[in-house]
Structure 1
Amino acid sequence: MIEAEIERIVSLIRDTHLEDAEQELHSFKRNHPTHDVSYVEMILSAHQTHYQKAYDIGEHLLQIAGQDPLVRFYHARNSIAVGEWMKGLDLFDSVRGHHVFGGDLLTPYKPLWDGQDLRGKILLIACEGGIGDAVCFSRFTKQFAELGAKVILASYDGLFELLRPLQGMNAQVDLSVAIKTDFDYWVPALSCPRVLGIDYQNIDGSPYLTCPKDMKAKWQSLVTSSRPKIGLCWQGNPNFKEDYVRSIPGELFAPMVADTRYEFFKVQVNSENNSFTHPNLKDLTSSVGNPSDLAGFLSQLDLFITVDSGMAHIAGALGVKTLLLNRVMGWFTFGHKPDHENLQSTPWYNSMQILHQKRWGQWDETIARAIKSIPTLL
């Protein structure tokens, strides 16, 4: 009975029926004040943008159910949302190996780096997650090289050409063969800011990638217009568990692309949610063969408007002017003290501005604010 009711409330939250979820939770909580119910209340509060309330509930849950990996994982996100950056990173790393954060552990093969002298040592940084995470956290090769390490980056072979300009990187290997590579220590990529002691405000948001020359030449002939050129991406990787809340139905962009002062271009790498068409929206998806192609496309734009996707990170790493439409309870890279009213900058990428969704599941208002923001961003 209890588990069924909790699942029903979770389903209401997932389906964006927050008032109904709150009403049922309030009634249910009176008779069942368990930590499972408090956990659901924490999730609901965060999705209502009541971050401090969610944080306070999470603090209580740490005392009574602190070994639960999901409690620690979601409280890490609460911590980031209220500005407790290092606490959030510590909590994230505390649940590694429990299949809620990060990639596979390589520690049975080689030791994790924990501050040892890196001079003359080989350090492997193991990328995790999708393309966006790999691009975002590969920037830290430079800091480890400055500590004296010879740095190997284990990522995905499709990214090798794009990531080649990274400072401080000595070699790249595919993540699938990382355990067969010779190195002294390793670091999970998403742990880099924590182990390096980099505070949120001290992240270097300068561009660190460049578009391959042959791709730039190719896309110069494809992305052409006498009007400002704006790229659109409304779909992330549909295999990501939370994609249904970060991706936006393409049809909602109809009022935006109807503005003929601008020319719009789309590249939707994933086939889902890609049926929206418009006379003022050129589809260049068929010209994309790899991530370097995406860099070529992005390098020709005057502005890129996107959801939190791999393309968002590639654009930021290239220094392309970008407007990110971010969901409520966004992933931790863009979830630090979110401002749900105004354009918000991010230290991750100097060229990026963020508009946070005001209400869970409702994108119309966010897109309306984006339309008003375009002239100020060009």
Structure 2
Amino acid sequence: MRGWPPKGGPTATAGPVPPGYPARMWGASNPCIGRPRLRTLQLMNAASPANIQSVLDHLDAGRPDQAEAALAGLLGEGAPAPLWGLGGVVAAGLGRYRLAADRFAQALRLAPDQPNHSANLAGALVKLGRLADAEQLLRQLLEKHPGHPAAAATLGAALHGQGRFAQARAFLEQSLALRPDDPALLVSLGTVAKDLGDLSTAIHHLQRAVTLAPGDATARWNLAVALLTAGRWREAWPLVEARRHHPDYALASHAGPAWTGQPLTGRTLLVHAEQGRGDVLQLARLLPVVAAWGARLVVECQPELARLMARVPGVAQVVPRGTPVPAYDVQCVMMSLCGPLGVEADKVPGPDIWLSADPAEQAAWAERLEGPGLRVGLCWAGQPANPVDARRSLALAALHPLAAVPGVRFVCLQQGPAAAQAADWPGGMVQADLPDFAATAALVANLDLVISVDTAVAHLAGGLGRPVWLLNRFDGCWRWLKDRPDCGWYPGLRQFRQRVAGDWSYPVSLLAARLRAQASR
């Protein structure tokens, strides 16, 4: 049907938290905030029971924004610990983890002997990346309350987040032996097993968690990721849809019917971006395939990707996120294209090259880079806000062995604060101000090779058809599979993966030797 969005403009809101989420607030990695009981709040005369019931009803219905509104006036001087704890649950449901931590801390100050407040505060600290603080708090809690169900799984998450996978696994296995039917422990242990590369064990634990808690979106999502990592993509795609209800997944949504594989001839399909910029560049390979179904394709994406995405074959219009969306018939979130299109690990539809640079901008860089030597672009760090950035990024100094390879001209593709490290590169490197990804594409199109960690630059180079050497962390993302030197999505990509978590020495030394061999040809 025509006419989406209705009058008044588009609606783009965060995806809903699933009904009943307070009982599993933190999900797979960071379980679990339990809601305070209503009768406890009544006994403390915290506020009108009707007002508190309204907060709880909104939480149970997956409306944390309305729960927060209902809290107005209830929190303040004289409010008891359980009410501050409830306020923390509401803030966490909104993804406002700093506020959640403040409220849980106040609850703990008022009721220091209440273990749930400590566990909830630790969960918020994990979300804020304060993993060592969370670990310390949880160990103190478990000394006094060794059987606390939420604390054990959250401590596993804190250890996991610090890259201490083996310790996390050992602790979680001990905890699971005491509570073998605890879905939160099963999900946390399955996630750790996945990152250790033990995919059969990971899938076993995660499938059991889904069986025990079929409505737990986090369990389903983590099972999907494990299946994807194992290359079992067709099994995974239906489970991937659980991300729409994941409490930490900020998935924008648009009104109107969703595309799930129905005919598109003569219809306008709105495809909207999700996750990071690298995910968008990767999934853009599927856009020409969808367009071939006869759809007029409108793509909504991050503003810095707009010029580049407008050049993808089959895209009729690009809408920078935050600007009005034109009328459309059906809509689809980018990753949800994979299931209907039958994407498999070794059978990815779409052209091998789907991104392109503006010819004039590319020619300008060709002139600037003219000269002898192998032209190699470097990108060594991702966005610091990413939860795994400390594991996927490295200091540029770790790549200094590459500078000793003769016959190579290095080009800085790094943006953001980490780009300042380029000033210390032995022999110097070409640097440039790259205002958007179209500008970066014009530069990358002139390079002989791109060496990058797992960030958007690797996806950009792969989509442009340039050779990519990926410096990959031990617990690599699902798209790179396990024990694979190549990647079905990018024919020109080769992986150089850590053998030991956190240790870049092996992949860098191997890469340096390969670079020396290539430069000497």
Deviates more, 1:93-102 or 1:198-207: 93-102
**Match for residue 12 of structure 1 among 142, 155, 159:** 159
- What is the DSSP-based 3-state SS (H/G/I as helix, E as strand, rest coil) of the residue aligned with 2:323? helix
Name the residue aligned to 2:437: 291
**Match for residue 151 of structure 1 among 297, 321, 326:** 297
**Match for residue 110 of structure 1 among 238, 244, 256:** 256
Name the residue aligned to 1:21: 168
| TM score, norm. by length of structure 2 | 0.66
Residue 197 of structure 2 is aligned to residue 53 of structure 1? no
**Match for residue 73 of structure 1 among 201, 221, 224:** 221
Give 1:306-345 correspondences, 5 Å limit.
306-334=452-480, 336=481, 338-339=482-483, 344-345=485-486
1:225 shift after superposition? 4.4
Deviations 1:9-62 (A, max 9, x none): 322222222333333334333334333222222122112111121111111111
Deviations 1:145-188 (A, max 9, x none): 2211111111233323222332212111123236x420000111
Give 1:149-298 correspondences, 5 Å limit.
149-177=295-323, 180-203=325-348, 204=350, 206-272=352-418, 274-275=420-421, 277-284=424-431, 286-298=432-444
User: 2:184 touches 2:209 (CA, 8 Å); kept in 1?
Assistant: no
Name the residue aligned to 2:74: none
Per the alignment, do residues 273 and 42 of structure 1 end up closer, same or farther by CA in structure 2, a change over 3 Å counting? farther
User: 1:126 touches 1:153 (CA, 8 Å); kept in 2?
Assistant: yes
Name the residue aligned to 2:449: 303
Per the alignment, do residues 278 and 145 of structure 1 end up closer, same or farther by CA in structure 2, a change over 3 Å counting? closer
Letter in 1 for 2:355: L
Deviates more, 1:217-226 or 1:146-155: 217-226
Per the alignment, do residues 247 and 218 of structure 1 end up closer, same or farther by CA in structure 2, a change over 3 Å counting? same
Deviates more, 1:306-315 or 1:81-90: 81-90
- What is the DSSP-based 3-state SS (H/G/I as helix, E as strand, rest coil) of the residue aligned with 1:282? coil
User: 1:152 touches 1:169 (CA, 8 Å); kept in 2?
Assistant: yes
Deviations 1:235-291 (A, max 9, x none): 11222232222212222112222223422222211214742522234151x432221
Name the residue aligned to 2:515: 374
User: 2:308 touches 2:355 (CA, 8 Å); kept in 1?
Assistant: yes
- What is the DSSP-based 3-state SS (H/G/I as helix, E as strand, rest coil) of the residue aligned with 2:174? helix
For residues 318 and 166 of structure 2, the distance between their equivalents in structure 1, rounded to whole angstroms, comes to 49
Deviates more, 1:163-172 or 1:17-26: 17-26
Deviations 1:280-305 (A, max 9, x none): 34151x43222122112211211111
Task: Report the number of matched residues.
Answer: 369
Name the residue aligned to 1:356: 497
1:345 shift after superposition? 1.9
User: 2:269 touches 2:330 (CA, 8 Å); kept in 1?
Assistant: yes
For residues 69 and 287 of structure 1, the distance between their equivalents in structure 2, rounded to whole angstroms, comes to 41
Deviates more, 1:165-174 or 1:305-314: 165-174
1:224 shift after superposition? 4.6
Name the residue aligned to 2:60: none
- What is the DSSP-based 3-state SS (H/G/I as helix, E as strand, rest coil) of the residue aligned with 2:312? coil
Structure that is richer in strand per residue:
1
- What is the DSSP-based 3-state SS (H/G/I as helix, E as strand, rest coil) of the residue aligned with 1:350? coil
Deviates more, 1:309-318 or 1:202-211: 202-211
| TM score, norm. by length of structure 1 | 0.89
For residues 195 and 377 of structure 1, the distance between their equivalents in structure 2, rounded to whole angstroms, comes to 41
User: 2:468 touches 2:492 (CA, 8 Å); kept in 1?
Assistant: yes
> Any stretches of 5+ residues in structure 1 without a counterpart?
none
Letter in 2 for 1:297: L
For residues 374 and 205 of structure 1, the distance between their equivalents in structure 2, rounded to whole angstroms, comes to 28
Per the alignment, do residues 7 and 50 of structure 1 end up closer, same or farther by CA in structure 2, a change over 3 Å counting? same
For residues 499 and 397 of structure 2, the distance between their equivalents in structure 1, rounded to whole angstroms, comes to 19
